[in-house]
Amino acid sequence: MKDAPENLGIDHDPVRHPEGCRPGIDCDHWVIRGARLRDPAAGLDQVSDVYLADGRIAAIGEPPADWPNEHAEHVAADGHWLIPGVIDGWARLREPGQEHKANIGTESAAAVASGITTLVMPPDTQPVLDTVAVARYIKRRAQLAGRARVAAIGAMTQELDGRLLSEMAALNEGGCVAISNAHYPFHDLRLMRRALEYAATFDLQVLLQPLDPSLAARGCAHDGAVATRLGLPGLPVSSETAPLAQLIAMISETGARVHVPLLSSAAALRQIERAKADGLPITAGVSAHHLWLTEMDTDALDPNCHVIPPLRRMRDRDALRRGLADGVIDTVVSDHQPHDPDAKLAPFPVTEPGISGLETFLPLMLKLVEEGEISFERALDAITRRPAELFGLTDTGRLEVGKRADMALIDPDAMWGIDADHLVSAGANTPFVGWDFAHRVEATWVSGRRVFRRKD
């Protein structure tokens, strides 16, 4: 597994370090000086100093009365933005079970190098995340890695086979922030309805991805002109909208709180909009790459553009952008799926789907802002406050006194590009190689601990 690039990591600041504090590692007190604080949810857009103590934001502006200045580490942040740490609500880290692709250590390192402080894992691990023991293993591995916080989503059915319900309430009590069946279908809609009733009884957050297995069988690209010309098996829009209609009908009967994490089509977006207008407890998300790429990007048969749900028409992409701008789409995720090189070497239809998305997640969102597609306020809301509320992570997602000190420092003037050889993630399977970006993450704090600083 490749090492991290040499220009990334924890390094000494060009300032003194307090006695007894290893630089950038175990300081309890920090002063971030002169940053532009940008957090619309907290009503912040100002240049100010921020004081961190014991893992939390102790003060903004003036130091607390008992501030131990001689024991605090100072960071000069003039000309930089300070934003809440990004929360990625759908990211596969490949551990446990597929460590030949990546692991929690490598991917949490990639996360913090990209301003992501919390990663939420779907339950399709090996073994499946259908017991509290697996959830505790993941939490412990994340703690040992010492970088991003990792939250687990528990499985709705045992082994994700869609036949027997899991102990969903026990998983929730064991620390799982939601329940899901990942991309696996239920074999019986009656069981799915019972699962939603169970979830509603315990007020559990459910994540379900609508995908009809018969309509989607063997499909690898949007069922349209490009797939027809290339001879690729198509995935029609109805493979998403038909099961979504069934799901909405069940939500109306059970009252379960359901989030659809990965919309891909304008038709599905209209269904969500109508369901919300009817007052149903449904929310929706989209991947960052679905806000940029279309079926035309599969024209070169680039296996890095093989994703499920597939990249659809330009009108679908534009509709998803409008849905995000209007607030119909609540959250944006990376849908991170790192792969080993062999997984993408076969012909397009038999390659493994998925993009390594952590390191392009925040840059793609800020690029939407830069090009005037959405406001900065809406972009940040979809990757900080809204996912924090969705998963009950009430202690993070904002720059507020008393909140957990999860934050990212950004240089808004830095210009950089994506180079597959210099990604921190163990997976280099990204279609964004060669893309240029402004705005670069320079440092990241998780619970008041600086876990990343870009070397000069």
The residues annotated with a catalytic role in the active site are 335
| Two tokens, residue 114 | 């990209």
Cβ partners under 8 Å of residue 75, min gap 6: 13, 15, 30, 31, 32, 33, 409, 443
Find the angle CA(176)-CA(177)-CA(183) to the nearest 5 degrees.
85
| Two tokens, residue 343 | 């997984």
Q: How far, rounded to the nearest angstrom, does the alpha carbon of residue 130 sit from its chain's CA centroid?
A: 21
Q: What is d(CA 112, CA 60) in angstroms, rounded to the nearest whole number? A: 23
Ramachandran area for residue 357 (φ above 0: left; ψ -120 to 50: alpha; else beta): alpha
Q: What is d(CA 264, CA 290) in angstroms, rounded to the nearest whole number? A: 7
* Length of the chain in terms of residues written: 456
